A and B are shown apart, each in its own frame.
Chain A
Amino acid sequence: MYFFTIYLYVISNILLYMGKEQTTLHIQGKSIYIVKATGGWSLIIMGDNIVLDDYHGKGGHIHPDPKEHGKEIKIKHDTQK
């Protein structure tokens, strides 16, 4: 729970930052690579190669299949707010 709270805090801070940023978060043996710029953001769970992104402001979605980036699951929460 402690790590999960920190994880949410870190992710939300990164996504709220307005400039261009590349962050690699190392937590409990996992690495999460996060990129943020004016035109959108992305989050890659390294190793598993699962991608979450909001490129070009088209709405946050998940690419769950590491070998097929065309597959998308829409994130219900409105990431534009």
Chain B
Amino acid sequence: MMLTLIKEQTTDEYDQIMKAKYGSMERLEKQLEKTHENILYAELNNWKLLLQDPEEPIKVKEIIITDNLNIGENELEILNFIKNGKPRSIREIALKIKKDPANTTNKINHLAKEGLISFEKGVKNSKIPVLNYDKIEIAI
């Protein structure tokens, strides 16, 4: 099964992420001069490339090729609620979709393990599931 998660990012959003990671392009250039690491070389050149045509958005894709994921009606319902219902906890999702909390937790953890969703920190160490993509394509 091949899953493709897709979202659009503005050039400015990408620029902010890179600045948060490296401080500035100049600092990354200096770091590269010191270490000569491939990864820094690629990050620097990608940064320059993606800043071109600032009006054009960047298509961000996460492609997952796996045989370990079953997406059924329950999983789709969970994904839909995470995307549109903005739940504050896994328990809230289970209550909303009227399913067993333990079973829902297992399904959500499995979706996270396969990279479809991620978790943000909530209050009192709770985990808030988030889906930061606009579109999911499934190819079988």
Contact = CB atoms under 8 A, between A and B. Distances in A.
A37 B49 contact: yes
**A-side interface size class:** 35 or more
Contacts of A17: 59
Of B9, B49, B50, most A-chain CB atoms within 10 Å: B49
Interface in B110-134: 115
Given A19-B59, A20-B58, A3 B65 contact: yes
B41 A63 contact: yes
Nearest to B37: A67
Nearest to B40: A69
A69 B63 contact: no
Contact of A26 (B14, B50, B64): B64
Interface of A: 3, 6-7, 10, 14, 17, 19-28, 35, 37-40, 42, 44, 49-51, 53, 55, 63, 65-70
10 contacts: A17-B59, A20-B11, A20-B52, A21-B58, A26-B63, A27-B65, A51-B41, A63-B38, A68-B38, A69-B36
